[in-house]
Amino acid sequence: MTLLSRGEARLLKIVMNILSKRPWEFGVVLDQGGWLDFKTLYKVLREEGIGPRSHKGLIRFFEVYRPPDIEIEPGRLRSTNRSFQYSELLEASYPEGTLYYGIRKKALHHVRKHGLDSTKRRLVLSETKEMAERIVKRLTGNYLLIEVDSVMAQARGARFQSLGGVLYTCPFLHPKWLRLPMIEEEMGGEEDKREEPHVQKVRENELEKGQKSPPGSFFLTIDPSDVAYLEEKSGRRRDRWGKRHKKGKRRK
């Protein structure tokens, strides 16, 4: 049997707590079979201040030391001796206060318009901001925390299920049940920056010519060479029209 150092023994103890005892205390949700991917496990261990420098190092650790109660497959692992069942966690639950959920900052506009749903990823809501922040940091560094009015949601028919501890899930959340922050990009900051060079150029042209335009209008400047081309093009159109409509016609 391979002897473990003190750090390795502590790492294995935390892994067993996550996989077989209290995953919700670490903001972890196992799948229906109890599996957890190595990348997520690595991030959780780094949050606890322990573990190798990469998830590949974590895989190598379990390849060398194979605990008897842990089953390993490519890219994931699970405990074969869990103290809870998946079905027990998904019992109906009725939170009474505000829940928190983290989203990518760039997704705010979509969430404001369409709400949240679990079609792509399970909605893992938390009773505390700290846990919601911990979970979303595993996905992105540019995030926002939004508030969910669980009382209003339940009154409108939303069904919450417990994921253990302070964690909940819900299949869909309407925008009206969410309290969303306002950010600079939504107030036009990002668009203004993108259009600023063009707007500035138009204003400079107006100042040079002493012209003013009402909001939403613009000035069209035609080069003298364009005038000759347009006149020639109009003449060709008149000739074609005359041939088409006057040919074969006689005066009465």
| CATH 3.20.170.30 domain locations along the chain | 90-179
Any bridge partners for residue 179, and if so which? 147
Do the beta carbons of residue 31 and residue 121 sit within 8 Å? no
CATH 1.10.10.970-classified regions of the chain = 6-84
Select the CATH number that applies to the domain covering 6-84 from these four: 3.40.50.1240, 1.10.10.970, 1.10.10.10, 2.40.50.140. 1.10.10.970
Per-residue confidence (pLDDT) for residue 6, from 0 to 100: 85
pLDDT digits over 12-33, tens only? 999 999 999 999 999 999 998 9
Under-50 pLDDT residues of the chain:
1, 189-196, 199, 207, 219, 224-225, 227, 252
Residue 191 pLDDT: 42
Cβ 126 vs Cβ 100: under 8 Å:
yes
Q: For position 194, what pLDDT does the model report?
A: 45
We find that the CATH architecture of domain 90-179 is Alpha-Beta Barrel (3.20)
